[in-house]
Structure 1
C-alpha cells in the first residue's frame, strides 16, 4: 500500500473512493490527523495530513514518528510525502517539481 503525506495546503485528497477514516494510537502519540484509507486509480492508499486538518502543527511539532508508525501498522510499504515549501534558489519557479 502507498502512504501519502500531504503538506501545507493538501489536507484532503480529491479522487479517493471507498473512504474510511482510521484513528490510531502509536507509541509516539497520535498521528497529525486521522488516516484516510481509500482507492486511487484502483490502488489502495493511506493519507495523512502532515500539519493536521486545521494546520495546527507547525513543522517543529509535527508528530512525524507517529505518522510513520501509523502507516506501518496499516501495511504501508512506500511513502510519498508532498510539500509546498519556498526555495532560496531563484532558478525554481512556482509550479516547478523537485525530486530529492
Structure 2
C-alpha cells in the first residue's frame, strides 16, 4: 500500500509518503527543495557518483524509524553534500532539517 498525505510542520506544508514493502516500509517527507527519508534508501550515492552529485540533491536519512512521526523526530544519520548549503548537519532532527528548506 502507498499512502500520500500533506504534512504540516510548524505551519509549513510537506508531502509525507509511506510505501509498504515486504518486511519494511519506505518513508519520505519532501517539498520542492529536498527530502528526508528512512534508511531503506541510500544517500551516499548522491555524494559518490559524479553524474548524480551534479544534481545537487538535498536529502537526509534517518535510521530505525517506522513512522512519519519518528522520521520527523529522529536525528539524521547521513546527509548529501548539497544539503549542507541549507545548514543541514548530521545529527539534527528531520523536522529541523525540513524547516531549513521551507
TM class by shorter chain equals 0.3 to 0.5
TM-score by length of 2: 0.33
Structure having the higher strand fraction is 2
Task: Work out which structure has the larger RCO, using CA pairs closer than 8 Å and 6 or more positions apart in sequence.
Answer: 1
Structure with max Cα Rg = 1
Structure having the higher helix fraction is 2
